[in-house]
Structures are given as structure tokens and as C-alpha cells.
Structure 1
């Protein structure tokens, strides 16, 4: 929000009530449009408002081709319908100042005050006295609330044996895919407990191997529970 500087001789009376005879006291009075003669500067005190901007995400669900067998092998029903749901992705809270038109004041033009100039913003709000633009405090930064991102299935293709491709029924395909999921889970458990013969040589290799196995598990489970896309 840019500000314009109005060079006038003024000061708020509450600041310099006892300034003495060296400098003239600035006269500040409540602003009344019907009595304003154009000689002086009008400013408003601010009201603080919080503006919240929200980002809404639409998540589309595509059912898996083996959804009807999900409960049989994994104990949980799968959604077999194309559907959509909405969630709050993130929210941004911004503090802004707006003019309070019930608290407007007029400052008479007078010389000899200790105030050299006053700074108003575009909305006519008082933002500084005897201060250049660079001396003014920066505006309050936006507060951004990041919500947990939706856990979406990856686009990775499930690694399935040839028997899956030649299986004659959905039931047989579901049996083969479920067996593959359980083999991956067994391999993950062996790695995490150190019971596999080909343990990774270092932490980076261990992380890479576990990530690959989890990605394959997610791709196989997508055959049963479907995928979600934003």
C-alpha cells in the first residue's frame, strides 16, 4: 500500500499540550463536512480488519477395477462410484486498515509547529508524522495456514506378474494382485527388521528401497481402492 506525503505544518494536540511559546500549538478538531472550508488536512483513524482468503480443492475419486474385492482381501469396503469431495487447501489471513469515518479529524494549516509533515495513505489514514516513507514500519505480513495435503495415489503402474494379464476372471486377478501386496509388505517388514539377506549398504539405499516398495504397494492398492486426483 503506497503512501503519499503531505507537507504541512501540523501536529496532533495530544502530543504537544505543554510545548510552550517557542512553537505554535497545532489545532486538531473533529471533521464536519458542512463546516469544512478547505483550509487544512483531513485524516481518518484506522480500523483493523482481518481478510481471509481460502483455497478450496476439489478431489475427484476414480474407483479401482477390483473395488468389489477390497473387503475380501483387506477388510475394508471400497467406493465403487465416481465421486468428488471438497477440502480446504490453505487459508491466508491478512490484516488491513480501513478508514474509520466515525473518527475523522481536520488539522488547521499553521506555521511554527514542531511537526514538519504528515504522511497519509491512499485511503486517507494517518500513518506517520515527521517520517519519510522508508522510515515507516512495514505492513503486517500475511499469515498463511497450510493444511495437510491430500494423500493421492501416484501415477505409477502396478508391477504385476504375467498371470494377472491372462487371468480369465476379475476374481482371479484380485487374488493375484492381493498376493503381490502381501509379498511387498513381507519384504518391507524383513528390511525394517534386518532379516533380509540383501540389506541396503547405507541409509540412503535403505530409504530408496523402502520408498520403491511403498510406491508399488500404493499402485497395487489403487486397483482396489481407486485413485484421487485434484
Structure 2
């Protein structure tokens, strides 16, 4: 009887322990499930136009760019100075193309079209994120323009500054470097001086021929001395010939013009600048020069209202906003002749769209965005 009661007591104890164990497992699963649900629910990303979000200093901010058209016009200034004996160039040296009068002229040598980006204040966005997401890894340039997420930062989109050499003037050109001899200086008329200068040209040519043929009485002792003497003879000949032919000096200058297109404006005949043959490139309002036009043809101009991000008023979360730019062709026209054309992508004429927020809610997402057009370049993940 005692043994029976003891056995029954043990069974009751075992049953109670089993019930406790099952209850403990159920409770543990419920707690884990609640914690898991809480953890999952804490991961969220929502991107909104900054105008719809109170500036509490807690959310991240970024801007999309507007595209700037840059036009570099490479100019050549050509200065021509008539020699003092140009009237005798045909008579004494048989030169047909001597410079007869002083002149200065600017000509266009090359036109380069490119684009850069700058911040568009009307496309500022606020990023609200909770939990471990990629939305905390934004890369912005110094202006606050988005360049990507978890990628290498882009510090600038600007072209390097232009450094031009000093522009020579007509007054800077002279013939003081010509080694005039006493016989020439003693002449009393320009015709006689020209004749003596022509004689020097012929003497130098004769000396060069004798040096090259080895018939010169005092030949140079070595090869270096030979080259030095030959180079000096050629220089002196060129200097004396310039007294008849004149001198031409040219320099290259580059000027940059920037235009940020406005979608409300027309660029059918936009005067970028003007060209004055004597002054070079002048302001668009300076009527002393002929116009240089910038013409912009947009492949498909969107409705301006559609270029603004207008998410639904309903409680719909947005992901990263980026731009789908439109394409256009820039033409640079000198009066009525097209001198350069370039196809470019322009943010202003495109549309702002949003990717699903679930993309940013993942960790390790790598996104590249163009700081020039705001276009989405690539989406990936860290290896």
C-alpha cells in the first residue's frame, strides 16, 4: 500500500514537470516571436520631399542636381606685324606673301561642350529611417547632392579651372632682335638699307651651304659646335628675312560659358556671347561683335509639373528618389554656321521617381547616382 502511494506520487510529479516544460517552451516561443516581430517592425525607411517634413534635425537630407551646360570656346589670337622693308620683299628676296600692314585677329579654333551638376533646391528630400538599414550610408558632395549609398564619395563634378597665358599685344612685337651691321646702319635711305639686309640674307645662306658641304674655311671642331653654328646661322637668316616678310605671333585662349537651362524658357536662339575680331569674345549684350548662339533641342520635353516629386497623400512609404533625365542636343552656332554639337542628358527636363523602400531597408546595398543628372547608375550589394 505504501509502495503504491509512492509510485502514484512520482507519476503526479512527472506529469506536473512535463506540463511546466511544455508551458515554458510555449512561453519562450511567444516571447521570441514577439521580439522577432518587434525587431522586424523597427526596420523602416521613408523618403519624402523636405517640404512635407518638419525640420527637426533628426532626418537625413539630400538634394538632386540640376544640369549645367558648359561651353569652352578655344580662341586663337593672331597678331601680324609688317616688316620695315616689306615694300622691297618682292624686289630683293622674291617674297610673294609678305605682311603689308599690321593687324590683330581672333578666330575660333575649337568648341567643347560638357555638363556639370549643381544642387537643385527644389528637389530636396528627407530620409526617415529606423533600424539597421542602408539609408544611414548616404554619400553627398559638398553641395549636398546625392552621389550614392555605400559607394565611393564624389567630391566634385566641376571641370578644372582654365589657366590662360598672357595675351600679347601688337605693340609687344618689334624687330630689335635683328643683329644689324654697321654697313646697314650707315645707309641713308630705306631702299639702301633693304638692299644691305637682303645682302646679309644671301651671305648667311651661302655660309650655311658651305658649312653643310664642308667647304667652310674654319670648320667646327666637333659635332656639337657644328650644330650650334648651324642653328645660329639659321636664326640670323630668319631674323633678317622677317624685316621683309614681317612677323606673326599667335596665342591660345580658352573662355568658358555656363548655362543652367530653365524648363520654362526657350533656347531656340540663345545668344551665348559675341565674337569681335579685334577684341575676341565679348559679352552677349556687346553689339560690336557677331552673335554666337546656343541652341538646345530637347528630344522629349516632359510636362514641367511631372518633374516634381509628388508622392501619394495616402500613407504610402517612398524609397530613394532619383531622376530619369531627358536627352537634348546642344548646338553652338556662329551666325548661321553650326560649329559644334553634343548630345547631353539634362535633369531639369526629366522626371523624379522613387524606388521601393524595401531596397534601402536592407543592409549593404550599394547605389551609384550621377551628381550631374541625378540618374540611377547602378544598384548592387557589398561583396
TM-score interval for Structure 1 and Structure 2 normalised by the shorter chain: 0.5 to 0.7
**1:154 and 1:215 in contact (8 A); partners too:** no
Unaligned runs of 5+ in 2: 1-38, 251-383
The within-5 A match list for 1:24-43 is 24-29=43-48, 31=49, 33=51, 35-38=52-55, 40-43=59-62
Provide the residue aligned with 1:210 in structure 2.
Answer: 230
Provide the residue aligned with 1:107 in structure 2.
Answer: 127
1:138 Cα deviation after fit: 5.8
Deviations 1:62-121 (A, max 9, x none): 322211011222322433323222356999988632235686543214343245443323
Q: Higher relative contact order by CA 8 Å / sep ≥ 6: 1 or 2?
A: 1
1:188 Cα deviation after fit: 2.7
**1:154 and 1:218 in contact (8 A); partners too:** no
Aligned partner of 1:175 among 184, 192, 195:
195
1:184 Cα deviation after fit: 1.6
Provide the residue aligned with 2:346 in structure 1.
Answer: none
1:177 Cα deviation after fit: 0.8
User: Structure 1 residues 102-111 or 162-171, which shifts more?
Assistant: 102-111
Q: TM-score, normalised by structure 1?
A: 0.63
Q: What is the CA–CA distance in structure 2 between the aligned matches of 1:187 and 1:93, rounded to whole Å? A: 52
More strand by share: 2
**2:79 and 2:104 in contact (8 A); partners too:** yes
**2:44 and 2:131 in contact (8 A); partners too:** no
Q: What is the CA–CA distance in structure 2 between the aligned matches of 1:211 and 1:22, rounded to whole Å? A: 85
Change beyond 3 A, Cα 1:103–1:87: same
> Is 1:219–2:239 an aligned residue pair?
yes
SS at match of 1:108: strand
SS at match of 1:27: strand
The within-5 A match list for 1:89-108 is 96-99=116-119, 104-108=124-128
SS at match of 2:117: strand
SS at match of 2:45: coil
SS at match of 2:183: helix
Provide the residue aligned with 1:188 in structure 2.
Answer: 208
Provide the residue aligned with 1:68 in structure 2.
Answer: 87
Provide the residue aligned with 1:78 in structure 2.
Answer: 98
1:218 Cα deviation after fit: 2.4
User: Structure 1 residues 206-215 or 95-104, which shifts more?
Assistant: 95-104
Q: TM-score, normalised by structure 2?
A: 0.42
Provide the residue aligned with 2:329 in structure 1.
Answer: none
Which one has a bigger Cα radius of gyration? 2
The within-5 A match list for 1:141-180 is 142=160, 157-180=177-200
**2:43 and 2:129 in contact (8 A); partners too:** no
Provide the residue aligned with 1:6 in structure 2.
Answer: none
> What is the CA RMSD across the aligned residues, in angstroms?
4.4
- Equivalenced residues, count: 204
Q: What is the CA–CA distance in structure 1 between the aligned matches of 2:88 and 2:63, rounded to whole Å? A: 68
SS at match of 2:130: coil
**2:134 and 2:149 in contact (8 A); partners too:** no
Q: What is the CA–CA distance in structure 1 between the aligned matches of 2:183 and 2:125, rounded to whole Å? A: 84
